[in-house]
Amino acid sequence: MLDWLHSHKELTAVAMGTTFGMLARVSMLRSDYRQYPAYPHGKIIHLALGLIAGALGAVAVPALFNKDYTAITFLSLAAQQFREVRSMERSTLTAIDALELVPRGAAYIEGIAVVFEGRNYLAIAAALLTSLFAQWIHWGAGLAAGIAALIVSHLFMKGKKISRIARVERAPVKLEGPDLYVGDIYMMNVGLDENREIIREQGIGFVLTPKSDDAKVTIANLGQRQAILHDVSTRLGVYRDDGDPGLLPIAKLGLRTGQLGLLVLPREKDEDKVYEAVSGVPLLEAAVRKPTKANRKSTEAKPHG
């Protein structure tokens, strides 16, 4: 068997590359509390794309070894197809978002779409590396490269959480007449007595204190705020129905301090679970800002002339 693998290097390289490309996509395809992608049909689509990505990355190496340089067009075709995946995910999530009691928001949707596109490229890279080492050195080297690619792909799945840039603290929900406060942050005016009573019973308040000047800008981003509200509402439910704007969870910025006040109305009123949900909200790539780095560079720059 080992002699056969060694004597059929090209076929071995393609088979191993396709397998590890597919395994990379399978390991990165998970449905969490958001239940997206949906099971089973949503997963079937992405598994099929993972198989295609693995096959394209694996076939490219033997073709290039045989000086068939037109094989590079396969990879450009794959890139075009995976851009279409990003557009498909964006369109699907945007359509679904209109039916959510607490929407995801455009920034969250774009972040999810980018992740789906990027993970197909990781599958191609895993297949390419596995096929390269199997063809160039030995099938054992291809096996080692494939395992290493799976580990690296897994590391790319670990995104940052909101707790990395901000300190999450519980804060009292106060009603002074119709004025609603979370801690010292003014949230909104609640006109109906019925809504005020529901907020007293179900409302839970949190204050997010940024850990740096960059974090102040990041948590002020409207997309990041909406992502926090959506995630908490998805994990613990929301105490409202369509047509109740006064019961919509809200995030407001303390303009003097840069703190972010959160008012959530979970169906399951468990402060510890809500705290974990807020702390575990993903940090959106589109929301991250680093103005201090840009300002430092501009002051350090030498004048022209």
Domain housing 85: 2-156
* Predicted pLDDT at 6: 56
**Positions in the chain short of pLDDT 70:** 1-9, 31-41, 71, 292-305
Q: SS3 of 284, please?
A: coil
* Predicted pLDDT at 135: 82
Q: What is the distance between the alpha carbons of residues 36 and 29, in angstroms, rounded to a whole number?
A: 10
Task: Decide if 170 is inside a domain.
Answer: yes
Tokens of 215: 């974090």
Are 7 and 151 within one domain?
yes
Are 114 and 178 within one domain?
no
* Predicted pLDDT at 206: 93
Are 22 and 51 within one domain?
yes
Predicted TM-score (pTM) of this structure: 0.80
C-alpha closest to that of 22 among 119, 156, 155:
119
E strand residue ranges, 123-257: 166-171, 173-176, 179-182, 185-189, 204-210, 250-253
Q: Which residues pair with 274 in a beta bridge?
A: none
* Predicted pLDDT at 93: 85
- Contact indicator for 34, 128 with CB cutoff of 8 Å: no
Q: SS3 of 252, please?
A: strand
> For the chain, how many structural domains are there in total?
2
Q: What is the distance between the alpha carbons of residues 66 and 71, in angstroms, rounded to a whole number?
A: 10
Are 139 and 6 within one domain?
yes
Max CA-CA distance within the chain?
83
* Predicted pLDDT at 170: 92
Burial 207-227 (b: 16+ CB within 10 A, else e): bbbbeeebbbbbbbbebbbbb
Are 38 and 179 within one domain?
no
* Predicted pLDDT at 88: 82
* pLDDT (tens digit per residue) in 81-136: 778 878 888 888 888 888 888 888 888 888 888 888 888 888 888 888 888 888 88
- Contact indicator for 104, 97 with CB cutoff of 8 Å: yes
Are 181 and 149 within one domain?
no
